[in-house]
Amino acid sequence: MALITSFDPWRNKLCSCPAKYSLSAYTGCNHGCLYCYASSYIKDFGRPREKKDFLKILSREIKKIPPGSIITIANSSDPYLNLEKKIKLTRQALEILKNYDLKINLVTKSSLVLRDLDLLKNMKKILIAISLTCLDQKLARKLEPRTPSPQERLKTLKSLSAYLPVVVRLDPLVYPLNTENLESLIKQIKSSGAKQIITSTYKIKPDNFKRMVSTFRQHQNLWQALYLEKGERKNNYIYLPEKLRKDLISRVKKLALAENLGFSSCREGFNQLNTALCDGSSFF
Ligand code: SF4
């Protein structure tokens, strides 16, 4: 199928997600996150555009998806981009999907998702994942320049969680930028109504590393030593050394469990630390 694709066509050995599909109305993204991985494999990534004949193709392909399947919206874009305000393709896609026996996992950083609360509340199986990296507005402005502030995302989370299951992707952990003060972040995530925290560490791709070091010059030497000299290469990404990753992930787990939140890490190889399915789908 051209539009609804297998979530992990490359069969990444580190991925422990249940089998699922991926769907996006848009190609590219306007949020400008420095650490973005999708920008390395999508042309003109910072110029988001709608997919041609999206609704027509979706209506055709959705009939072939087995009942009960999970569809994630979206993995290499945000379903609530600026474009969505006007052309509402994500909303129209949800209107189609609600007529099928499917589990829908919406992943977003945008408060625009609240516009569709009326519709989301009436969907049979829906899970929202809000991505959040820190509480510090200045840091967030540099790391994710065109996204809603952390406080706005927490408010969005609170409004959604009154009606729907919501998990948080505390993702990525960029050592040492956002790996301090995790306690207050996780407490606020809990008090805003999330059910689970999903986390992973930042991985280097050549283009995201260029953006990171040009913005955070003070960490260039440290990152070069940790990633390029001591790090691990896996599936075309460069990871932090295993011990440091495990320490960071374990710290998040401890804080999550202290708040009675579900916990999982994503594509780190530490599945034994997970207390819930790695993508939050335990909460459908
Ligand atoms: S929201 Fe996601 S897809 Fe968009 S720039 Fe940020 S990381 Fe990339």
Q: Which atom of ligand 1 is nearest to the CA of 31?
A: 5
pTM: 0.95
Using alpha carbons, select from 117, 99, 95 the residue that is nearest to residue 108. Answer: 117
- Please state which of the four CATH numbers 2.60.120.260, 3.90.100.10, 3.80.30.30, 2.40.30.30 is assigned to the domain occupying 5-283: 3.80.30.30
Other beta carbons within 10 angstroms of residue 145's beta carbon come to 13
From the CA of 169, how far away is ligand 1's center (Å)? 12
Mutate to test the pocket of ligand 1, among 78, 83, 170 (most ligand atoms within 8 A of CB): 78
Written as tens digits, the pLDDT of the chain (284 aa) is: 789 998 876 677 788 878 899 999 999 999 999 999 999 999 999 999 999 999 999 999 999 999 999 999 998 999 999 999 999 999 999 999 999 999 999 999 999 999 999 999 999 899 999 999 999 999 999 999 999 999 999 999 999 999 999 999 999 999 999 999 899 999 999 999 999 999 999 999 999 999 999 999 999 999 999 999 999 999 899 999 999 999 999 999 999 999 999 999 999 999 999 999 989 998 98
From the CA of 38, how far away is ligand 1's center (Å)? 7
User: Which residue's C-alpha comes closest to atom 7 of ligand 1?
Assistant: 36
For residue 182, give the amino acid letter. L
Domain ranges of the chain: 5-283
Mutate to test the pocket of ligand 1, among 27, 31, 110 (most ligand atoms within 8 A of CB): 31
